[in-house]
Amino acid sequence: MKKRTFLKIAGVSLASYVLVPHFGCKNPTQKKDSKQTMLPPFTLPDLPYDYNALETNIDARTMEIHHSKHHAGYVKKLSAAVAGSAFAGMSLEEVFPKLTMDDDGVRNNGGGHFNHSLFWKNMSPAGKGKPEGDLLSAIQTTFGDFETFRKLYWKEAKTVFGSGWAWLCKDSENKLFITSTPNQDNPLMTKLVEKTGTPLLALDVWEHAYYLKYQNRRGDYIDSFFNVINWDEVSRRFNE
Ligand code: MN
């Protein structure tokens, strides 16, 4: 091969690598923005930390399977479900309020993609245990104090029957409330769930989220989740 031809090929492949960072890229400056992954074509967001970063609260094996198999599966099936449907080309935020009982594929996989994307971001190895500022004030106004909020959220998550999610949300007047949804539903699916609002904090209580380490002890898993909540991110969403 002539030197010039080689440089041309090398240049092209280097350029495409830089423009489209592949999954698993370790360079934090090239992590996919999770907002972008909610727009078609839907893609799996990189975790904002390594699989083992939440040890010993959430084990690396669970994180790896949960992200690279479960979440990746929802993304793949979502793309197939929206292709050729009335939802093609829409962002998930546009899709959710339109969903009805007849939209199973987009409902389950769109919820799966959105909910997990939120869940990864509202955890951090640098979790501080307690919120501050405006969010803490709002929690105190609504629930009395942080400990009471913690107990109510814990109970909501513990008592989800079967698979689902526990949520801290804000309503249209910025008032906080706790709710839960079955399966992969979320509070943005206004025609499908009891209480609707903007999700601030998401907790996955499907068994796949904790069974390897905690088996049937969902309560212990919820306790551990509270050790790794990224309250800065929850506050950012509250103030948005
Ligand atoms: Mn999950």
Query: Could you read off the pLDDT of 53-68 as tens digits, one per residue?
Result: 999 999 999 999 999 9
**Which CA distances in Å does 62 have to 1, 65, 138?**
47, 5, 33
For 29-33, 214-218, 233-237, which range has the lowest pLDDT when averaged over its residues? 29-33
CA of 164 to the centre of ligand 1 (A): 9
- Looking at residues 177-188, what average pLDDT do you find? 98
CA of 141 to the centre of ligand 1 (A): 31
Task: Report angle CA 25, 31, 164 to the nearest 5 degrees.
Answer: 100
Find the domain containing 227 and state its range. Answer: 133-239
pLDDT band at 84 (very low <50, low <70, confident <90, very high): confident
Higher pLDDT, 164 or 36: 164
pLDDT band at 35 (very low <50, low <70, confident <90, very high): low
Residue located via tokens 């990224």: 230
Residue 234 lies in a domain: yes
CA of 16 to the centre of ligand 1 (A): 32
Contact 235, 134 (CB under 8 A): yes
**Residue 83, SS3?**
coil
Residue 123 lies in a domain: no
Residue 170 lies in a domain: yes
**Which CA distances in Å does 72 have to 109, 115, 136, 203?**
10, 13, 34, 18
- Looking at residues 135-158, what average pLDDT do you find? 98
Task: Report angle CA 179, 181, 182 to the nearest 5 degrees.
Answer: 155
Residue 207 lies in a domain: yes
CA of 208 to the centre of ligand 1 (A): 6
Higher pLDDT, 168 or 25: 168
**Cis amide prior to 56 (ω within 30 degrees):** yes
Contact 191, 168 (CB under 8 A): no
Give the pLDDT confidence score for residue 34 in this predicted structure.
Answer: 59
- Looking at residues 183-210, what average pLDDT do you find? 98
Where does 116-214 show beta strands of DSSP type E? 164-170, 176-182, 198-204
Give the pLDDT confidence score for residue 33 in this predicted structure.
Answer: 56
CA of 94 to the centre of ligand 1 (A): 22
Residue 145 lies in a domain: yes
Could you report the per-residue pLDDT of 86-104, keeping only the tens digit for each? 999 999 999 999 999 999 9
Give the pLDDT confidence score for residue 32 in this predicted structure.
Answer: 57
Q: How many residues are recorded in the chain?
A: 240
CA of 162 to the centre of ligand 1 (A): 13
CA of 3 to the centre of ligand 1 (A): 50
Task: Report angle CA 177, 232, 30 to the nearest 5 degrees.
Answer: 120
Residue 120 lies in a domain: no
CATH code of the domain in which 221 resides: 3.55.40.20
Residue 191 lies in a domain: yes
* Total count of domains within the chain: 1
Residue 180 lies in a domain: yes
Token code pair at residue 14: 């280097």
